[in-house]
Amino acid sequence: MNEKRIAWAITGAGHTLVECSERLLKYKKVDVFLSKAAEEVTRMYNLQDRIQVEGVRVYRERQASSPLVVRLFGGNYNVLVVAPATSNSVAKFVCG
């Protein structure tokens, strides 16, 4: 049986992004999901190299239809972490 991983979704929020990366990337079994806004924010905070480490898989949003989300339904993850999150993202979660 494969060991389950942590799914970490990064949104366009930058506040506490460095602190979140320090906490989450220490586990080394993390899949990082980057929206287009998240790619901008990770560049602004110089985190591209930090998330490109051994044991961490990075998935980038390339299409508007969100095919990456399908990966979350396969039972591969113990937890989904969305941090930091913008109020816009939280509102979207609430509204489904």
pLDDT, tens only, 7-59: 999 988 888 999 999 999 898 899 999 988 899 999 999 998 888 888 899 99
Q: Calculate the CA dihedral of residues 93, 63, 20, 45 and round it to 10 degrees.
A: -130
User: What is the rounded distance in angstroms from the CA atom of residue 92 to the CA atom of residue 76?
Assistant: 24
The pLDDT, as a whole number, for residue 83 is 92
The model carries a pTM of 0.84
Token digits of residue 86? 């913008």
pLDDT, tens only, 70-80: 778 888 898 99
The pLDDT, as a whole number, for residue 73 is 82
